[in-house]
Amino acid sequence: DVKVTQSSRYLVKRTGEKVFLECVQDMDHENMFWYRQDPGLGLRLIYFSYDVKMKEKGDIPEGYSVSREKKERFSLILESASTNQTSMYLCASSPAGAKYEQYFGPGTRLTVT
């Protein structure tokens, strides 16, 4: 059974802080993704990675960066948090042969005040 975990379920940060969101998967998946979820907008892709140290921009990468130093771990970084980054953040992973069959983590609800 695929397990994708995220470091925090709830996080409150102040404007301008640097924020790290961590995601770990235990199924040896090559692909990992970061989405944000906002009401009425569905899930929007921020960044994804198909291999260690590789990253690709998604649809809304502005204000975010990512790091993938190990295969099982994919970090999302908000360099200087802003109130419009208040959202639910979902991590997902998928195997190399089926990158679109994505398994999601439980999400981190981030509030920036």
Residues that bind another protein (CB under 8 A): 4, 35, 39-45, 48, 50, 56, 58-59, 90, 99-107
For residue 90, the minimal CB distance to another protein (Å) is 7
Contact status, residue 54 vs residue 32, Cβ threshold 8 Å:
no
Q: Are 94 and 101 in contact (CB under 8 A)?
A: yes
Q: Which is nearer to another protein, 24 or 81 (CB)?
A: 24
Structure-token match 């989405």, residue found: 35
C-alpha–C-alpha distance, residues 9 and 5, integer Å: 10
Q: How many CB atoms lie within 10 A of CB 2?
A: 15
Tell me how far, at minimum, the Cβ of 74 lies from another protein, in Å: 15
Nearest distance, CB of residue 59 and another protein, angstroms: 6
Which of 60/77 has CB closer to another protein? 60
Strand partners, 38: 42
| Closer by beta carbon to another protein, 47 or else 81 | 47
